[in-house]
Structure 1
Amino acid sequence: MPQLNPSPWLAIMIFSWMAFLIFIPPKVMTHLYYDNPTPQNMDDSKMEIWHWPWP
């Protein structure tokens, strides 16, 4: 039965996992996010009461 012969499938599995674990993570980690949130001062912010229009 040819599906029990591990020689081609084992190599394919090892090379694909090497690509997922070695080559792809550095490419993903170097991605730049252009919409980073900016920190705000919590001292300057005041709580304002918001009046609901339906009462």
Structure 2
Amino acid sequence: MPQLNPNPWFFIMITSWLTLSLIIQPKLLSFVSMNPLSSKPPAVPTTTPWTWPWT
């Protein structure tokens, strides 16, 4: 069965992973900007308990 022969497919897999991780990934990560850190404490939402009509 030719699918079990790893000779051509292993090289293609390694080449594609190296291309992704060394060339494409740094270019994509340069476009992602993180939100600036804030010194304000997180706001805690105030909620009111629900009054169930049958209790």
TM-score, length basis structure 1: 0.51
User: Structure 1: any 5+ residue segments left out of the alignment?
Assistant: 42-55
Q: Which runs of 4+ in 1 moved over 4 A?
A: none
Please name the residue that 1:22 is paired with. 22
TM-score, length basis structure 2: 0.51
Quick one: percent identity of the two aligned structures?
49
Task: For 1:12 and 1:31, locate their aligned partners in 2 and report how far apart those are by CA, in whole Å.
Answer: 28
Task: For 2:4 and 2:32, locate their aligned partners in 1 and report how far apart those are by CA, in whole Å.
Answer: 45
Task: For 2:6 and 2:32, locate their aligned partners in 1 and report how far apart those are by CA, in whole Å.
Answer: 41
What is the CA distance between 1:29 and its match in structure 2?
2.0
User: Structure 2: any 5+ residue segments left out of the alignment?
Assistant: 41-55
